Chains A and B, each alone.
Chain A
Amino acid sequence: MRWQRLVLSCIALILFVIPMGLWGSLYIVGGDDARLYYLFPKEYLYSYLFNIISGNSLGTNLGYWPVSYASPVVLFIFLVKTLLPWLHTQFFIYGLILSTGFVFFYAFVRDVLPKKGNLYFWSAIIASLYYIFSIYVNKTFFQHQQLSLFLIAVVPGMLFFFQRGLRGKNYKYIVCAALFYSWFSSTFLSIPWFLATLLTLLPLIIYFLWIYGLRLCKSLIMFVGIIFFTNIYWTIHIMVPLLFKTGEATIGSNFASEAFAQQNADLFDALVYLNTPIRQITNTLRTGWDIRQGVGIGQTIGLVYVLVIFWAGTFVHKVKKDTRTLFVTSVFCLLMAMIFITPNFGQWNSALFQFLNDHVPLFSMFRNMYDKFALGMAFAYGFALYSSLIVLGEAHIRRVWQYGASAVLIVVILLQAMPFIWPSYDDDTYSVRINGALNAEYMELTSYIRDMDTTGRFLWYPMTFPGYVFLRDQKLQHHYYIGLSPLQILSGKADTAGFYGMSTPAKTDLNWITLALFRERLYEVIVPILTQQNIQYVIINNEPFPDKEKSGLEGFDFVSLQTPEFKKELLGEKIRDFGKRYSLYTINPDFALPTVFLSENATESARVAQKVKFQKFKDGRYEVEIEKTSKPMKLILLEPTSRFWTSQLGQASQAYNYGNAWDVPEGFEGTVILEFWPNKLVVPSIIFSVLLSLVLLVYCLL
């Protein structure tokens, strides 16, 4: 009906303008996700996202690993920024997520029980409002604001398309679901949240299986297949090490490792105390130990959602079978979400979580479960609320009760959402919201580094424990970007910014070893470790630490251990200053190493035995000219180690816990090409993915 569409559109529009209208004009940046893609999407695409061996991490060493899974979303942001440059890109996108999330959730629940009437319309509106304003979403996803935020819209959208495809026996919708997920979810980056949500929706999947049987299986195969092949531009780089059985350290193997599972076991034990069972029932959530106060009397208004579900339960015997089945399914989803978001309903609950962590591969990705299962919880609560309101309506309870319940629900939803809709920021002394530009000196620094003719990497002094850099806003005094180093994005040059950056894929505990060396003040050992990681320059950040972040950046006294003596040992010649804030130096020439050189060994302290001439091409190849060698030597390449580096000299071995080495026989002379061959797959796989996506899009539109 037209008026229903009008109401739906009005609510969607209001949701769309909330961030732009009420959340101020500053950009919220920093953290593990940097969130700078809202400001520099073009630079992300150009200098960072499609690198697979070096320059594929921000301030750290990642090894062979693709990071392009975020590229469709960043491309979308780039298009928004290019087409609507006057808008606040970040809040425009947030508004879009809120409104589309609301509309898709509405569409999904309406489609699950396709009946017409005001009851179904208003019930879906209330449930969708709950979903989008749920504290489980706004205290987690909108708190860290990582790219997984897009799942708020993607999950209900994907489920809507998928469900419609199943019901209408129309595979075009299954394709739509797969494409929608592929383009907007950042796939790999959001997998822990996505799979956690699917786990909570397991009863719904079983319900679908019961209704659609084989059709569901076919659709699932099709869905997964499309996602795999449309994402071949990054999945190929996960497949290559598996196919060639190189055993290279990857993020996937890290998640599956016993050490990681053990770390998680310890974490689960602690997190069970973070939220007590009353949290799930009263619709509240504690997201950190700094929130010390328990549930207050005012917060118990969140009970109304469970109350409505229980109330509906008292009438469930009066409604038709399809509604009853929907009610039972949705409540089971909610129960699943409740036992996973914090396993606190008894020791059996935490033991179940622990068992899954120990025995199900990759289950350990659900660490910080109160965050990972938050979307599933919001979805399940909204879904159960919808089915409950339908039960109450179909059971023909008195109108006054029905309207009263709806009104109370709307009031409680809005009351709980007020701090989210209308946030207050305390920016007087410190803030991580910036006005859209980093300070001019930093931009000058990155511009200078971009133009430098070097293959070397850069080191920040002082390094911080989480590997964050702190960069002041251009205009606002107490406003900072504090997060992963954006040097790679803005200059195209790799850097090391902190403790975790000193770990290498070849030696993952090198950072802890270095920390011990710092404690023993063995700087003459530490600096060679850094130069063996191809670090050739040092950026001095002369700005004082922001007080509020000092303890977080300092971890294990890592910053204080970088004494003036270490600085003296580290620095070579000053290249230039960038205002008062930054100074650029070469590294101490006593320890300096070029990216490619000949050495007598590849295991002990690196020393240049014979210099070589080399050139790096845009496609990542190195052309090395070697003058006649007087004895057998090692050709060293200080790029992240991998068995996929090839040359006519044969198979590479590992060098100095970081790089690659080839045997060079005595008397060798000539030109050698060093090539990381998976680089050849980058462009063809992108072309394949784009073409396949376009073909599938045309298929959907026809």
Chain B
Amino acid sequence: MVRAGRDLVVALCTAIAVATAFWTAPPVETQTARPARVAGKPNLNGIWQALNTANYDILSHPAKAALAFRPGPVVPVPAAAVVAFGAVGAVPAGVGIVEGDEIPYLPEAKKKQLENQANWLDRDPEIKCYLPGVPRANYMPFPFQILHSDKAVFFAYEYAGAVRNVYLKDPGPAPVDSWMGQSVGTWEGDTFVVTVTGFNDQSWFDRAGNHHSDQLKVVERYTPSGPDHLWYEATIEDPQTFSRPWKIRMPLYRHINPDARLNQFKCVEFVEELMYGKYRKTPVSP
């Protein structure tokens, strides 16, 4: 018994020593040194990604079986179109990204959000691979790359190959509405402030049907809180949809693996069967 106890202590000590050595060992591979600043401003270059479930619902939400339901004999069951996905089609729980965990909808706009949610399969622009809009692009489950030089700040998103060129000199009001809006950036100390206007009313905030009108204005604040983190805040204003401005916030994490790269997710091709399958000469049987 005493012997066994001693062996256990030795084994534990060895395990702790090995683990400590592992924890304190420098990483085998690192990215090449990254300058802290670009033209005097914090270096925004890198491949960034949110680590949350806001794309399902920007408000706090419990896990649930699916995004689309139909009535069941006892409780609602996943809609026919999604039932085959099983656990893969279920929604993970998440802490909301909205300050105060409430979206101040006007009554009509709240009604529309509930309708959107009930008709998610038909209405969510993400299902059709449409451009994601802002701020949704920043917390979709895909990375995005910021290219930051002395002359330009450019966002390239993996999802749908969406892009934003951030004007560093205000070109004036956007001459035409667009999915990704017109971005104008200025520096407030070490915070990059991007004002986005000129939106159409087509994009959503999440898969929960949260929406806006073409009066949307998003003021984003990107503040580095270390070499690998950006603190992201955005103030959402849209007097046609909301009774007051409201705010979202979350950290963005930098991909630090040495082989990090932005891959391609050109999903237009992936939704051809969904969108055009019914027009085939010989439709694929369901």
Do these two chains really belong together in a complex?
no
* Chain A interface (Cβ < 8 Å from any Cβ of B): none
